[in-house]
């Protein structure tokens, strides 16, 4: 039986893939740190809650726009350098690049531009939509990479785990929000779960970035192995 040839994810330089992963992780860390700094200022009475919300919205909008532009450009760079299933995965990554921008713009898009009803839970619907825009394409992209027989086995396992973790980072906050709003509102045990859910909102960008970083390392190793075996 003919053995499937293992190929790296990118045909030339892996720099765009490393930068793509770094941008996702960096955006998650930046927005988390900004939120913690502004929250600390509110707790110390330096700014009001409304000022906190306005400043955070402006900063997240600016960071989201910059991150989305970078992610799209780097994903397109990866598309150009890839082929087969890997190219399809990076096309999906390019589609997911508007995820950071949607974090701040989802409410405006859904309820002002499209005119959808809020149904009393506008912020929840907007957060869910923003999460879906990024997480769903990334989950499918990881599944494609995990199913590609041309990828090295370690890379396929990393892609599979990344798909499961990325999907969990989407489903868990939605589950906790439904519990808090509809099923058991005001339950004392929801406090720690809501806190964990809030952290996962940031991890939904960092976890796929970490998965891509590990995939890039495996792909670089495969590229070196292929070169060494080539006479």
pLDDT given at position 222: 81
Tell me whether residue 7 is in a domain: no
Tell me whether residue 102 is in a domain: yes
Residue 205 neighbours by CB under 8 Å, 6+ apart:
24, 25, 27, 28, 31, 99, 100, 134
Tell me whether residue 173 is in a domain: yes
| Domain extent for 215 | 15-220
Full-model pTM:
0.82
Q: Nearest 5 degrees, angle CA 179-CA 185-CA 191? A: 75
Low-confidence residues of the chain: pLDDT under 70: 1-5, 105-128, 173, 176-199, 226-231
Angle between helices 49-81 and 84-96 (to 10 degrees): 160
CA contacts within 13 A on the Cβ side of 21? 16
What is the number of structural domains in the chain? 1
Tell me whether residue 119 is in a domain: yes
What are the pLDDT digits (tens) for 27-71? Answer: 989 888 888 888 888 888 777 777 877 787 788 888 888 999 999
Report which of 155, 15, 187, 167 is spatially closest to residue 85, judged by C-alpha positions.
155
Tell me whether residue 10 is in a domain: no
């Amino acid at each position: 039986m003919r053995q499937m040839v293992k190929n790296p994810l990118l045909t030339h330089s892996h720099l765009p893939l490393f930068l793509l992963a770094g941008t996702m992780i960096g955006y998650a860390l930046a927005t988390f740190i900004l939120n913690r700094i502004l929250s600390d200022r509110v707790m110390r009475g330096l700014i009001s809650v409304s000022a906190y919300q306005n400043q955070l919205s402006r900063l997240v909008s600016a960071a989201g726009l910059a991150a989305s532009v970078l992610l799209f450009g780097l994903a397109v760079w990866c598309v150009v350098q890839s082929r087969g299933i890997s190219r399809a995965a990076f096309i999906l990554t390019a589609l997911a690049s508007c995820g950071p921008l949607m974090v701040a713009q989802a409410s405006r898009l859904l309820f002002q531009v499209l005119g959808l009803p809020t149904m009393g839970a506008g912020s929840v619907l907007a957060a869910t939509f923003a999460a879906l825009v990024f997480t769903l394409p990334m989950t499918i992209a990881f599944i494609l990479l995990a199913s590609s027989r041309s990828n090295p086995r370690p890379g396929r396992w990393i892609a599979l785990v990344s798909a499961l973790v990325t999907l969990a980072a989407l489903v868990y906050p939605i589950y906790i929000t439904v519990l808090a709003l509809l099923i058991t509102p005001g339950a004392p045990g929801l406090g720690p779960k809501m806190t964990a859910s809030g952290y996962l909102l940031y991890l939904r960008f960092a976890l796929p970035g970490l998965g891509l970083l590990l995939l890039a390392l495996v792909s670089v190793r495969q590229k070196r192995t292929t070169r060494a075996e080539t006479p």
